[in-house]
Amino acid sequence: MSPTRNDRAGNERIRNELVKAERLTPDDGHYFFGYYDTPAWNESDRYHLCHKVDFFDRLPGPQDRAVLGFIDTLDHVFHPIAETTAWNFQQGSMLQWHPASPEHTVIYNVRKDGEYRGVVHDIRSGATRLLERPVANVDPTGQFAVSINFDRLFDFRPGYGYAGRTDPFKDDPHPEEDGIFLIDLAGGKSRLIVSLKQIWEFSQAGLQGKHRKLLINHITFNTDGSRLVFLTRYFPEPGEKTWGTAVLTVNRDGSELFLLSDYSFASHYHWRDREHIVFYSLGAELGNDGRQLYVLRDRTHEGEIVDRRFFLKDGHCSYSPDRRFLLYDSYPDAEHYRHLYLYDLQKKRGVTLASYYSLPGIDGDIRCDLHPRWNRQGTHISFDSTHEGRRHMYRMDLRGVLEEWAGAQD
């Protein structure tokens, strides 16, 4: 189904001839990459990583395999490189290019001998080596990764964890032995840098002293790998419809823990630089503006709204490589369309690039968010979608849009 409708009255839509989207993946399975803030394109922007699976209408079980590989964007041929049973539909197997070797080395998670492990894989030689723990995020310099408890995450949100194991700390609300682990990517060893017990002790004022069962849902290095931001959430108790989210930051070694936002509402984010993060959140520490897209400054309670007229709802946000533009998307509207947006931060102008039909029933933990991702040059984006009846991966050429905007500025 083609993108043909506007998402809101008065919103500017880019002319069709300026946005060229093409499907990258074949019809012999369901293909997707996963999240929006993980390196999907190799250094030359020719190869795009993806997962290939046989189904898309249920959660993966412990024995369900995903084939990992890359699409050559010149001929759209899929090149398989490995298989894994440690994956989900939202973030895949954390498949990504290694920042220290982004042309031919990838990182992903597997299940081996009953344990989740990260893998560093040279796709030229085929050589692989195991990390001590599974990877949740990788430092942009390629020196370190961080790991969290994927069993606990599966119990909380199956679309983000891995199926088939029991959390060893299931009955402990905030264990001292679990939390955030730092992995040395060169040697593979890991160590606990922040425990869930520390997080509870640090943030318990926002929990009114209640021993809520905590977990780490998302965690990301900043742009130079010196600090991390992470979402701590608590499991809803009987009768509660949702969870509370605290946003914390910390140095890579576990020092200088900071509560950026207390337990309320916080969702998608992206680091602008080493000190600033764009965040769709309640912004409670900034005033009473409510749910907005904010830019927050780390280790302070300072921030500002990006554009209250344009960013009306939650979406997956990411800065272009030059930090001039924001890429954004939406959840399905009443007619099951997801919308793809581009925003010029200099001109304070946003547009709808396209709108794509989202198959009803493919929702919840198996939903297919667009999760739009920039290439390294900032000229193209990729996204996942079900508007042709399967999970597929698409590429959109933004050069026409960017050139028109640059010309209008001149």
Domain boundaries, the chain: 33-115, 131-305
Looking at residue 406, what is its pLDDT?
80
The type of residue at 217 is N
Reply yes or no on whether the pLDDT at 347 is more than 50.
yes
Strand, helix or coil for residue 202: helix
Per-residue pLDDT band for 209 (boundaries 50, 70, 90) equals confident
| Each residue's pLDDT tens digit, 254-300 | 999 999 999 999 999 999 999 999 999 999 999 999 999 999 999 99
* Alpha carbons 49 and 67: distance in angstroms, whole number: 11
As a whole number, mean pLDDT of residues 393-397 equals 97
Choose among 395, 352, 325: nearest CA to 6.
Answer: 352
Reply yes or no on whether the pLDDT at 5 is more than 80.
no
Reply yes or no on whether the pLDDT at 319 is more than 80.
yes
Q: Tell me how far CA of residue 29 lies from CA of 26, 243, 250, 387, 403, in angstroms.
A: 7, 35, 41, 15, 36
* Alpha carbons 16 and 195: distance in angstroms, whole number: 50
As a whole number, mean pLDDT of residues 26-37 equals 97
* Alpha carbons 392 and 379: distance in angstroms, whole number: 21
Quote the percentage of the chain above a pLDDT of 90: 92
Strand, helix or coil for residue 14: coil
As a whole number, mean pLDDT of residues 67-89 equals 98
Looking at residue 9, what is its pLDDT?
35
Looking at residue 404, what is its pLDDT?
87
Its pTM stands at 0.95
Per-residue pLDDT band for 15 (boundaries 50, 70, 90) equals low
As a whole number, mean pLDDT of residues 127-134 equals 98
Q: What is the mean pLDDT of the chain?
A: 95
Choose among 250, 263, 255: nearest CA to 220.
Answer: 250
List CB contacts of 123: < 8 A, sequence separation 6 or more. 70, 81, 104, 105, 106
